[in-house]
Structure 1
Amino acid sequence: MEDPAAATADAANSLLEIRVRLPECDPEIWRLLELAGSLSLGQVHEVLQAAFGWEDTHLHRFTAGDPFARLDPVDGEIIEPPQWLPAEWCEEPTDLAEEDCSPDQLLAAGAGGAFYEYDFGDSWLHRLEVVTRRPRNDTNPPARLVDGARRGALEDSGGFPGYGEILDVLADPSHPDHADVADWVAEVTGTGDPYDPDVLDVAAVNRALDACFRAA
């Protein structure tokens, strides 16, 4: 039988390569991340915020399964699956503290995959999937962006449908709302430069991740 303490140590010393995607976006927005197995889900939350350009102004949660999947009753009762939240937000019996759970534990609970939801109004759902797991050495940073596609969606843009509509309006200078939407995007992004949804600056994300862990 495997020693539980040894298994925990192996997980803590592992380096997880995880693919994270926004499955409802087309074309898909995705990131390939390397994460230390010793991180807490609270730290993974910070990584995902930096990787997708979110501003951490809304609630979030981790779940082992799709939080929007239909639940079948068990003995006539609907049992809510567990969710991982910051400890101060935990109120329900199925709420678990994200500070006490590692990405390895979450992904094991989800059989290799899990979900992160950001902003319960816009419901930005991220699918996390393990690609590889290998030993971590001292040269590996706690978190690193390896690759990805497209910049993150705009904060407060109305979820997947709203963001898609904004991109359509921006791409059509003849649209009656084009000027208003362009002004709103400039305000959100803090720049008047043309908004390109296909650009991802991997180096800038990794600088943000380095700063995040230096400040910790």
Structure 2
Amino acid sequence: MEHLAGTARECNALQQALALAKWVGPGRPVTAKGVLRRADLPEAGQVLGVAMPQSVRSTADVPALQRPWTAAVAAGLLSVSDGRAVSGPTLADGDAVLEAWLRALAAVLAVTFDGDEPDVLEIGRLVLTALAAEPAPDLQKIINQSSYEVYDAFHRGFGDRDPAEAALELMAAFGAVDRQRRITPLGRWALTSLRDSPDTQSELEGICQLKITLRYVQPQCLRRVLVPSSATLGDLHDIIQIAFNWDGDHLHAFKVGRRQYGDPYFDAEHDEDKITLGAVFAVFAKRLSYIYDFGDSWMHDITLEKVIEPDPDTAYPVCSGGRGDAPVEDVGPENPQWTPFDQAEINTQLAHLASGAHDVEALLRDDIEVIVTDAYGEHEQMTAFLTVLDEEIKFPVPATLLGEPVVVTKLVEDDATVELRAHCRAKRATGLMSFADLEFLPGTVEAWLHSAYLVYLGRPPVATAPPADWDHLAQWRS
């Protein structure tokens, strides 16, 4: 492995990435997209011996410069945040070099073929598979026989140029192919790694510092959060909801490359709970977007600024900073309202999320939604609660009121106050009590549905977990 690591370190692609990182040094300004400014391109081109075209708008116009920059960022040789690029640590030894090399290869595949992660990794695998065969088969034929997404990514944006030729040049720059265009030992190692599915690729490990910026909002509204790499996109959705004070009543989706992740219950293309941040950011995706409310389209840009070691004294996730008030949703542009940035309150709610209580509330809200489906207005919704609770709770049931034992025999709806009341028997008195004021034995159906009722009223729940083997109102779900 040491020999392979040495080959990876000395390949032209990483040598150019190292040269760029050395040139950047303690820091240089970058654009909002995290690439070099147009004014700095000629100097960077001189460092790499790259001639600049007469008309250059951005780094993307100079592939010979864009690819080393992309490789440097992916390999960790450059760190980009707050509008500046800073030289990172030099390449380590052994497996760490190979992992950095593979990340850089995947990142450059992505900018070369402009595809989604699984598609560009499949292109890399197919190219190396063809080179490893004896005799080498027709690469174009192999690509044509793959999926449409891979075929489309392979051919997109090349014009008259042969994409197979571009792929071979890329592999040669990374030392996966020799001058005779035969696969090298490093290329065979890469092929073995790429044969694993993208979901089983090595993931980033640590705490991801994310900058989340709400697009099109002025003054700028952003939040910085520290999130474990083991968190899923579904977890990140919950964090964003808290950080920007959204109420979660609308649909949402993440965009990673050309792939969309969301809640499969609402027919999302890919399940947000089945991919971690470590997997998303491991190879090349340093940015992704999140949209909340497909009507008002609140767009969030999410950037991975750096990965840090976890602090054993810190409970994650945590909001480490931010600025700007967040807009209040559903109030209309004519009378905008704003929620002031309150870092302490955000972290209080994130701690609540980390404790697992948020998961319980999510389950409770799901059951509440089942109960009040097709019920309009407070009176209809209270009637719906009464109907479901009468069926699900097997009266009489024991409870306590202010610490005193009672037996609840049935529930009734109070039309005047629009709340549920309970017929109770007790040693000292018998009569109607507020259902909300009662307490039930933990772990029972009545305790869980009582907590759902409390959440419906806007109060904190009492139950800490649903009853074991309970069907969660299965008969009431349409």
TM-score class normalised by the smaller sequence: 0.5 to 0.7
Once the two structures are TM-superposed, the CA of residue 97 in structure 1 deviates from its matched residue by 0.4
Counterpart of 2:345?
204
User: Do the aligned partners of 1:51 and 1:205 also contact (CA within 8 Å) in 2?
Assistant: yes
Once the two structures are TM-superposed, the CA of residue 6 in structure 1 deviates from its matched residue by 8.4
Q: 2:222 aligns with which of 30, 38, 44?
A: 30
The alignment status of 1:59 with 2:251, answered yes or no, reads: yes
User: Do the aligned partners of 1:107 and 1:114 also contact (CA within 8 Å) in 2?
Assistant: no
Unpaired segments of 5 or more residues in structure 2?
A: 1-97, 100-192, 360-478
User: Do the aligned partners of 1:18 and 1:128 also contact (CA within 8 Å) in 2?
Assistant: yes
Higher-Rg structure is: 2
SS of the equivalent of 2:202 reads: helix
Give the TM-score normalised by the residue count of structure 1: 0.67
Once the two structures are TM-superposed, the CA of residue 23 in structure 1 deviates from its matched residue by 1.9
Deviations 1:34-79 (A, max 9, x none): 11111111111000000000000000000024xxxxxxxxxxxxxx
Once the two structures are TM-superposed, the CA of residue 131 in structure 1 deviates from its matched residue by 1.1
CA RMSD of aligned residues (A): 2.3
Q: 1:129 aligns with which of 297, 303, 310?
A: 303
SS of the equivalent of 1:209 reads: helix
Unpaired segments of 5 or more residues in structure 1?
A: 66-80, 168-184, 186-196
User: Do the aligned partners of 1:61 and 1:85 also contact (CA within 8 Å) in 2?
Assistant: yes
Counterpart of 2:236?
44
TM alignment of 1:93-132, pairs within 5 A: 95-107=269-281, 111-132=285-306
Once the two structures are TM-superposed, the CA of residue 111 in structure 1 deviates from its matched residue by 2.9
User: Do the aligned partners of 1:36 and 1:142 also contact (CA within 8 Å) in 2?
Assistant: yes
Q: 1:157 aligns with which of 328, 331, 334?
A: 331
Once the two structures are TM-superposed, the CA of residue 114 in structure 1 deviates from its matched residue by 0.4
Q: 1:86 aligns with which of 253, 257, 263?
A: 263
The alignment status of 1:138 with 2:312, answered yes or no, reads: yes
Deviations 1:73-121 (A, max 9, x none): xxxxxxxx32001132236xxx110001112333457631100100001
Deviations 1:22-41 (A, max 9, x none): 12011111001111111111
Matched AA of 2:237: H
Give the TM-score normalised by the residue count of structure 2: 0.32
User: Do the aligned partners of 2:221 and 2:323 also contact (CA within 8 Å) in 1?
Assistant: yes
User: RCO higher in 1 or 2 (8 Å CA, sep ≥ 6)?
Assistant: 1
Share of identical aligned residues, percent?
25
Number of aligned residues = 162
Once the two structures are TM-superposed, the CA of residue 140 in structure 1 deviates from its matched residue by 3.1
User: Do the aligned partners of 2:225 and 2:317 also contact (CA within 8 Å) in 1?
Assistant: yes
In 2, Cα distance between equivalents of 1:44 and 1:148:
17
User: Do the aligned partners of 2:262 and 2:270 also contact (CA within 8 Å) in 1?
Assistant: yes
- Structure with bigger strand share is 1
SS of the equivalent of 2:241 reads: helix
SS of the equivalent of 1:139 reads: coil
- Structure with bigger helix share is 2
SS of the equivalent of 2:335 reads: helix
